[in-house]
Structure 1
Amino acid sequence: MKILVDADACPVKDVIISVGREKNIPVEMVASFNHQISEGTGVKVIVTDTGQDAADFVIVNRIQDQDIVVTQDYGLTALVLGRNGRALSPRGLIFTGDNINSLLMQRHVSAKVRRGGGKTKGPSAFSREDRNNFLESLLRLLES
């Protein structure tokens, strides 16, 4: 088992690295070459080009059964779940087959509204509570 991270905009990289080291679980940070991420003990950095979804394709190609992927991307999440991986958002939401379809539909409806000139509400600012929720959810996934 390993933890793969869609690392370009991940606010909990430090938490993931700490848990990976503590639990002796390899961590792979996947990011475009525009982002500086340091390798360290137990952390492998995989650099991609800046193309749309480049990091997503690398993650999907590297995932194995029961690996954990940390991402905010619902499309990537659906692919991960389809390959028997597990997925978690940086805010601590554990993605499942039960919730990903409604999240994808929500994303589609919001995009349709924006294409039509409407506005949609973005996410709230990342909080300490989000960080704590993430840690609890990550530990729960690792124990299951």
Structure 2
Amino acid sequence: MTTLYIDADACPVREEAYRVAARYGLVVFVVCNSWMRTPGGPRVTLVVVDEGPDVADDWIAERAGPGDVVVTADIPLAGRALAAGAQALHPAGRPFTPDNIGGALAGRAVGEHLRSMGEVTRGPSAFTPADRSRFLQALDAAVVKARRVARP
């Protein structure tokens, strides 16, 4: 069965993800560092992890695999999900793929290096209604693709 993992801290598309998950009957794990409201029901589980760098990412990466979908803006987590055979999707609707994850990781490393040298870099673009729409379409496509993959 396909499982949807949401890296929920600062995720702007949780409600959309819940709707898609309900339509497909997916199990959802909402992983974050503090309590947040989630829809009731047996298919959605809130997982509150300890504070600390990458604790939520580690929890997701240790469980996601073939046939699963991970929603995250965290590029290293997306890379780990892809390496494990899961689909990975940015909240703005951009799928992470084996073809683009290397460039995304390299761009992140360059940005971190520039910031460590005192450079002021742009943050992420403002989230738009078009991003929300693109996310819904991309999540639907990712779920369809993930459901075709048999978990070992």
Q: TM-score, normalised by structure 1?
A: 0.95
Moved over 4 A (4+): none
> How many residues matched?
143
AA in 1 matched with 2:46: V
Counterpart in 2 of 1:10?
11
Tell me by how many angstroms 1:135 deviates.
Answer: 0.2
Using CA pairs under 8 Å that are at least 6 residues apart, name the structure with larger relative contact order, 1 or 2: 2
Counterpart in 2 of 1:96?
97
Q: Is the 8 A contact 1:60 1:80 kept in 2?
A: yes
Tell me by how many angstroms 1:64 deviates.
Answer: 2.5
Counterpart in 1 of 2:86?
85
Tell me by how many angstroms 1:17 deviates.
Answer: 0.6
SS in 1 for 2:62: helix
| Residue 22 (1) aligns with residue 26 (2) | no
**What is the alpha-carbon distance in structure 2 between the residues aligned to residue 55 and residue 62 of structure 1?**
11
AA in 2 matched with 1:143: V
| Residue 73 (1) aligns with residue 96 (2) | no
| Residue 130 (1) aligns with residue 151 (2) | no
Q: Which runs of 5+ in 1 are unaligned?
A: none
Q: Is the 8 A contact 2:81 2:87 kept in 1?
A: yes
Q: Is the deviation greater in 116-125 or in 49-58? A: 116-125
Q: TM-score, normalised by structure 2?
A: 0.90
SS in 1 for 2:99: helix
